[in-house]
Structure 1
């Protein structure tokens, strides 16, 4: 898992570049809007909205922008109706890929996803053929400067399931519903973290053993993530640290 998890961390850092172009903001606002539409506009009564709200605030989305998105979701303000769809596919080397999108045009987005996969050596898959290889988890990335025991003492009772050494960071894993409690427990003890979000973790991984193969896989990931309708992309590749560390992350 180290290669895949390190790529997830790099993606988080890459988000600063996306934010500069407004791309990340737009995606986060759309996620807040859909969460409000599906579960109501009160974050205290809507766990999904609470998570999306916090994610937007963590990435410096202005409060009034978030509040307008919530009002569009609840119908207080006029807005576009987005549909949530998950596409399943394969990247080169048999890597399984899940693609979460929010779209106002299913046909357009479906065509774009198929085209992006095909152009980059991948393919679309039948529904259900890939999803079983992943499970949804809450994940908090904590700097390695924090002691392992301090993390466990702070948040074990809040629902930590696993604590993994990822080289220069710790990966704290919990059930999705426990993420707010784990986050709050770490904050209460003054423990800083780089990110806290729900994600899809692979149950098995595909080893990628050459730089050429790694570039082919990551080319698909980048192409999908650059699509405006794509919210998240998950994959089950495992690229060794020595290969991944030597590769640049393209904006």
Structure 2
């Protein structure tokens, strides 16, 4: 278990992304589709789907849109068929980037991702070219303001729930799990803390690379921002960290 890490700024656009309501709706609904495809299409027997639906309700996605997303799995006739895709590449300076997408047109998505890497001084690699630098794990996050527990209590909950790690920052708590135990750990944590802000299978870098040049940071952030804005992209992960003084300057 670890109590603190500099992992916090490798997904720096969470707040900005939350403001783009339509895009957030689309991405959360696609999370529901993925969850329904990976397990039973009923929330009672599929923990991942149950919590994906809870996340959708948390941002006030209408029930009919949630139901329609599940129907794309249970009754796919005439509906768009989505494939899960992973793209791996490098940003400027050898920073490793993983892009996860859900798409109904592989050629369109691959072209958009490839051109985005090229535009911002990066290059798209082969599958497996960077994923070995990451751990593929379950990720469960809570906003600190939504949790009535101090870091010691959070640590206790993590241990008792079966999480492999937890990181407490000023603004959020993040639990990490093995993929095989993700649903069980998530259920255990929800019993203690309620529904999380986010819960998904993702990628955590084994080691972080510090980017201390302001211009390179700006280009890196533009790459990540543009990738996350693509309609088919669900999440972007990287193995970088940015010094706080540069990070705050670029956000201002």
Measured against the shorter chain, the TM-score band is 0.7 to 0.9
Q: Secondary structure at the match of 2:45?
A: coil
Structure 2 stretches lacking a partner, 5+ long: none
**8 Å CA contact 1:72, 1:79 repeated in 2:** yes
Cross-structure match for 1:213: 216
Matched, 1:56 2:56: yes
Deviations 1:110-153 (A, max 9, x none): 11111111011110101111111112223333418741221133
Which of 167, 178, 182 is the aligned partner of 1:175? 178
User: Over the residues paired in the alignment, what is the CA RMSD in angstroms?
Assistant: 2.7
**8 Å CA contact 1:138, 1:173 repeated in 2:** yes
Deviates more, 1:70-79 or 1:182-191: 182-191
**8 Å CA contact 1:208, 1:239 repeated in 2:** yes
**8 Å CA contact 2:158, 2:166 repeated in 1:** no
Q: CA deviation at 1:187?
A: 4.5
Cross-structure match for 2:19: 17
Consecutive aligned runs of 4 or more in structure 1 exceeding 6 Å deviation:
none
Cross-structure match for 2:101: 101
Distance in structure 2 (CA, Å) of the matches to 1:191 and 1:41: 22
Cross-structure match for 2:249: 246
Q: Secondary structure at the match of 2:159?
A: helix
Q: Secondary structure at the match of 2:249?
A: coil
How many residue pairs end up in the alignment? 246
Q: Secondary structure at the match of 2:234?
A: strand
Normalising by structure 1, what TM-score?
0.85
Q: Map 1:84-233 onto structure 2 (within 5 A).
A: 84-142=84-142, 143=144, 146-189=149-192, 194-233=197-236
Distance in structure 1 (CA, Å) of the matches to 2:55 and 2:195: 15
